[in-house]
Amino acid sequence: MTLHFKHDVIVVGGGLTGLRAAVATNDKLDTAIISRVHPVRSHSLAAQGGINASLGNAPEGRDDSVEKHTFDTVKGSDYLADQATVRAMCAEAPATVYEMEHWGTPFSRYDDGKICQRPFGGAAFPRTCYAADVTGHVLLHTLYEQCVKRNIKRYDEWLVLSLVVRRKKCHGFVAMNLINGELASFSAKTVIFATGGYGRVYGKSTNAIINTGSGVSISYQAGIPIKDLEFVQFHPTTLFGSNILMTEGARGEGGYLRNRQGKRFMADYAAKAMELAPRDIVARSINTEIEKGNGFPGGYVYLDLTHLGKAKILERLPGIRQICIDFANMDPINEPIKIQPGQHYSMGGIDCDVKGATEVEGFYAAGECACVSVHGSNRLGGNSLLDTIVFGKLTGNEVVRTTPGIKGPDAKLVKDELSKWQSRIKELQSRSGGGLAATIRERVKEIMIEKVGVFREKKYLKEAFEELKELRQRADGACLSPDGYGFNQQLTGLIELPGMVDIALMIAGGALNREESRGSHFRRDFRERNDKKWLKHTIARLGKLPKFSHKKVDVSEYVPKARTY
């Protein structure tokens, strides 16, 4: 028997964005959440450091304001963020944090009971609200409880495979039940993508294994424009060896970065902000030190917390300490941590507006898979958790307004797409002779971290693009060694492989075209920002290879200036 499901609204993704959007729509519309993992296994859970809001609770942060949060975010973005959108996010921030607090998020608190705020990179004041170093964990559980309370229908462990879009209208999608390999059609008046980032297109990533970016590649395949993919955030401090994140909160609490000589080398790169310069600058500084021979063999420097003392580490950074003990066999109370930069966040994504709307009727996007754009070419720490909840809510509210006016989806179109997938999966299972999907994927990751990483240059970007082109062709013929349908990771890997290479091509192609340095995108051969030519968003559209064009940036509030810290 073939399964067909129908709802008014289906939210794809059970991370912070998806859950917040579903909470907004469920009271008014028949809503369901579909997710490739149980919601609380989404990557949002791994967020450590905190969420930004200009509450002004810290003693040295009393003068903070929405205005200052907006300015810091725009400056941090290297002026590529759309400024009115940034203001909208920052203005929503205090109410968003309080709403989460009232729903039960156990934030860390000062003695007077107010929510604690720590300093984060690129922020003029301590603005990052936190719950020790498990902020994502507690926020996600809070929203999950809100969904359970509302009895929102869920499809857990279902992988969405493709969208059905005809004449700029979305009708639904096809998905595979990962538990048994069964396929089903899902029709809906409105689909919201909240599918998170694509970190795993890179080797050395802090992201969960499930962060393949399938939401972005599925949208691209459906003809929806993708924005600014060349901007990839590399987090300065990931654990050497496993690349597990060591939160920026560790530096926010006073941690130092030291090179082989024991020197706090940030003095040479950002004398004022030191370790709390924005991530793009700190990541480049670390890699420059390593290249200069001031790092340690293998390519790392130290994150030193030893001077913070045992009590502070146990109170504020217990999760970081435990990760070090479990994964690096050392205790940061006594020794410095070996760290190196690693891929961390996707600034680009599905092109959408402040209410999540795309150019396709009935298709919305929010959170890390979307590009609205509030982070521009470099995201400030603590602004992404904010982005997820704010835009999850704004998108949900907009969908409540628009969905009743949308004509019902054409379920037949979605069923036809399902039949195509039934034949396609059989074909994938019967393939032989092509390379293994896993081997091709590993090569893609290597290329991306080696040639499209922190430092970029025409020669290497071109080499990357050419080899990715070849791998894209090989991806179409890749095969697996079949072992049934239930939780078959090889099969999902094979299904997702072409999409991952599409994303890699959009990143490398966009980076090759953009002959300037801005935020996270640093070209050794074009070391300066070039506003005259490049103060514009990149748009990639479906073609045999991605077709690139540009879109205007909203600079209505702050005139772009040189960015110094």
| Active site (catalytic) residues | 279
493 makes contact with ligand FAD (CB under 6 A): no
Which residue has the CB atom at the shortest distance from ligand FAD? 15
DSSP 327-386: HHS--TTTSPEEEEEEEEEE--EEE--TTSB-SSBTEEE-GGGEE-SSSTTSPPTTHHHH
Compute the Cα dihedral for 145, 151, 152, 158 and give only its sign.
Answer: positive
50 makes contact with ligand FAD (CB under 6 A): yes
Parallel, antiparallel, or unpaired for β 363-365 and 183-193?
parallel
> Rounded to whole angstroms, what are the CA distances from 476 to 37, 443, 470?
26, 15, 10
Question: Which listed range, 47-55, 97-105, 422-430, 526-534, lies at the site for ligand FAD (CB under 6 A)?
Answer: 47-55
398 makes contact with ligand FAD (CB under 6 A): no
- Show the binding pattern over residues 100-139: x = contacts ligand FAD (CB under 6 A), - = does not: -----------------------------------xx---
Nearer to ligand FAD, 262 or 486 (CB): 486
Tokens of 305: 């917390």
368 makes contact with ligand FAD (CB under 6 A): yes
If binding means CB under 6 A, how many residues of this protein chain bind ligand FAD? 46
Peptide bond into 373 cis (omega under 30): yes
Q: Least distance (Å) from ligand FAD to the CB of residue 195?
A: 4
160 makes contact with ligand FAD (CB under 6 A): yes
Q: Least distance (Å) from ligand FAD to the CB of residue 458?
A: 30
367 makes contact with ligand FAD (CB under 6 A): yes
349 makes contact with ligand FAD (CB under 6 A): no
Of 233, 249, 412, which is closest to residue 321 (Cα–Cα)? 249
Rounded CA separation 285/263 (Å) = 13
DSSP annotation of 32 reads E
Rounded CA separation 517/311 (Å) = 42
Nearer to ligand FAD, 243 or 517 (CB): 243
Q: Least distance (Å) from ligand FAD to the CB of residue 387?
A: 7
The distance of Cα 454 from the centroid of its chain, to the nearest Å, equals: 17
- Three-state DSSP class for 450? helix
DSSP 163-202: EEEETTEEEEEEEEETTT--EEEEEEEEEEE-----GGGS
In contact, 491 and 438? CB cutoff 8 Å: no
336 makes contact with ligand FAD (CB under 6 A): no
Side chain identity at residue 213, one-letter code: G
Nearer to ligand FAD, 25 or 44 (CB): 44
- Count how many Cα atoms sit within 13 Å of the Cα of residue 441 in the half-sphere of its side chain: 21
Which one of 9, 21, 80, 194 is in contact with ligand FAD (CB under 6 A)? Answer: 194
253 makes contact with ligand FAD (CB under 6 A): no
Which one of 43, 316, 441, 563 is in contact with ligand FAD (CB under 6 A)? Answer: 43
DSSP 486-531: TT-HHHHHHHHHHHHHHHHHHHHHHHHH--S-BTTBEETTB-S--H
54 makes contact with ligand FAD (CB under 6 A): no
Which one of 11, 34, 266, 494 is in contact with ligand FAD (CB under 6 A)? Answer: 34
Which one of 44, 73, 340, 488 is in contact with ligand FAD (CB under 6 A)? Answer: 44
In contact, 159 and 38? CB cutoff 8 Å: no
Nearer to ligand FAD, 51 or 444 (CB): 51
Q: Least distance (Å) from ligand FAD to the CB of residue 335?
A: 22
Parallel, antiparallel, or unpaired for β 337-346 and 256-258?
unpaired
Which one of 53, 159, 324, 506 is in contact with ligand FAD (CB under 6 A)? Answer: 159
Nearer to ligand FAD, 229 or 464 (CB): 229
- Show the binding pattern over residues 286-305: x = contacts ligand FAD (CB under 6 A), - = does not: --------------------
215 makes contact with ligand FAD (CB under 6 A): yes
- Sequence-ordered list of residues with C-beta below 8 angstroms from that of 65, at least 6 positions apart, any chain: 54, 56
User: Which class for 482: exposed (0-12), middle (13-18), buried (19 or more C-beta within 10 A)?
Assistant: middle
Q: Least distance (Å) from ligand FAD to the CB of residue 260?
A: 27
Which one of 23, 24, 46, 328 is in contact with ligand FAD (CB under 6 A)? Answer: 46
Q: Least distance (Å) from ligand FAD to the CB of residue 243?
A: 10
47 makes contact with ligand FAD (CB under 6 A): yes
Question: Which listed range, 16-24, 284-292, 505-513, 546-554, lies at the site for ligand FAD (CB under 6 A)?
Answer: 16-24
- Show the binding pattern over residues 222-251: x = contacts ligand FAD (CB under 6 A), - = does not: -----------------------x-x----
Q: Least distance (Å) from ligand FAD to the CB of residue 220?
A: 13
- Sequence-ordered list of residues with C-beta below 8 angstroms from that of 154, at least 6 positions apart, any chain: 14, 32, 33, 34, 35, 39, 147
Site of interaction with ligand FAD (CB under 6 A): 12-18, 34-37, 39, 42-44, 46-51, 135-136, 159-160, 194-197, 206-207, 210-211, 214-215, 245, 247, 345, 367-368, 381-385, 388
